[in-house]
Amino acid sequence: MQEYIEVLFRTERVGYFTNPKELPLEPDARVVCRMERGEDIGEVTNCAVNEEEIDARQRRSEMMPILRIATEKDESQLELVKRKEEEAKRKFTLMLESQPFVMKLLEAIYQLDGNKLTFFFSADGRIDFRDFVRALATEFRTRIELHQSSGREDARRYGGLGMCGRTYCCVNWLKKFNQVTIKMAKDQNLLSNLSKISGPCGRLLCCLNYEEDAYIERAREFPRTQEIIRVEGRRMQVQKTDFYNNNIYLVDEDNTQVIITLDEYKKQKQAKKK
């Protein structure tokens, strides 16, 4: 099965590349890759990605090769590019003043060879910036892309500390964002206060995704919420479950709450079967 090299670029884009020259690559190595329009520099994040793990959309496109491990010349070129980016941001801000919309420029990133310039911005709602893109292309004489940044991307770009006291996962080690859903919060009994399980990006915490499989497995031992069970002859409804302390909260017809342990529930269940 074909294996590919996963590379993270400065634009936060993740791409998959072949290694036809069999370069001795390892994670965090800086490499120069062939792109649709020239060359760009990125960082190796995974040296052995199976074809099955790659998004179907990317498998359908032509996989480009890694050209070389970044040299001193490439690193020097990157420093020149970064200086050009500062000038590009200044020009962008001046040109923006004549536009009929409001946006905030976050970052400007050139491709290593200068064949593409991407501007990242934030704005309220969608903006029709087609005329602005043409004006930018005329000014910079290269391919222009405008990318409206999401809250998650902003958090990665600027960094910070999460409620756990550690650097954001997306800054420290998380290379790509996984989908985090309300269902995950529900599975983990964390729906009571959404503000406590939302990150500074305004989205649900990425770490809800980490233990989801364990919670789903754990939930199989517990009754479902609103399930009717009998405890010592009394008909009771499951109000909520506490996976952390192995407790099950029940209410009877008089709305009286009773707490039983998971072991007690299992004994009742076994007794019923007998």
Q: What is the CATH number of the domain that holds 122?
A: 3.30.300.20
* End position of a domain, from candidates 47, 70, 93: 70
In sequence order, the β-bridge partners of residue 41 are 32
Same domain for 35 and 89, yes or no, is no
Residues 26 and 47 in one domain: yes
Tokens standing for 104? Answer: 């905030």
What pTM, to 2 d.p., does this model score? Answer: 0.66
The half-sphere exposure of 220 on its side-chain side, counting CA atoms within 13 A, is: 5
- Predicted pLDDT at 84: 96
222 part of a folded domain: no
Confidence at residue 110, expressed as pLDDT on a 0 to 100 scale: 97
User: Which domain, by its residues, includes 242?
Assistant: 228-273
Q: What span, in angstroms and rounded, lies between the C-alpha atoms of 122 and 150? A: 7
* In a domain? residue 223: no
Does a structural domain hold residue 80?
A: yes
**Residues 207 and 255 grouped into a single domain:** no
**Domain endpoint, select from 20, 36, 70:** 70
Assigned domain for 27 exists: yes
Alpha-carbon distance of 103 to 148, in angstroms, equals: 9
DSSP-based three-state secondary structure for 14 = strand
Q: CA distances (Å), 93 to each of 79, 90, 114, 143, 144, in order?
A: 22, 5, 20, 18, 15
- d(C-alpha 105, C-alpha 114), whole Å: 19
Q: Check: CB of residue 236 under 8 Å from CB of residue 191.
A: no
140 and 165 assigned to the same domain: no
Residue 45, C-beta contacts closer than 8 angstroms, at least 6 positions apart: 6, 7, 8, 14, 27, 175
> Does residue 220 belong to any structural domain of this protein?
no
Query: Of 34, 51, 70, which one is at a domain's C-terminal end?
Result: 70
- pLDDT by residue, tens only, the chain of 274 residues: 468 999 999 988 888 999 999 999 999 999 999 998 899 999 998 888 877 777 655 655 678 999 999 999 999 999 999 999 999 999 999 999 999 988 889 899 999 999 999 999 988 888 888 899 999 999 999 999 999 887 777 777 778 888 888 888 887 777 677 788 888 888 887 877 778 888 888 788 888 888 888 888 888 888 888 888 877 777 888 888 888 888 888 888 878 888 888 888 887 777 666 5
Q: In whole angstroms, how far apart are CA 234 and each of 168, 201, 250, 257? A: 48, 47, 11, 12
Q: Are residues 204 and 236 in the same domain?
A: no
> Does the residue 221 lie in any domain?
no
H/E stretch holding 230: strand 228-231
Whether 185 and 236 map to the same domain: the answer is no
- Number of folded domains in the chain? 4
Sheet with 14-17: list strands edge to edge: 14-17, 3-9, 38-50, 30-35, 66-69
Structural domain contains residue 263: yes
pLDDT of residue 40: 97
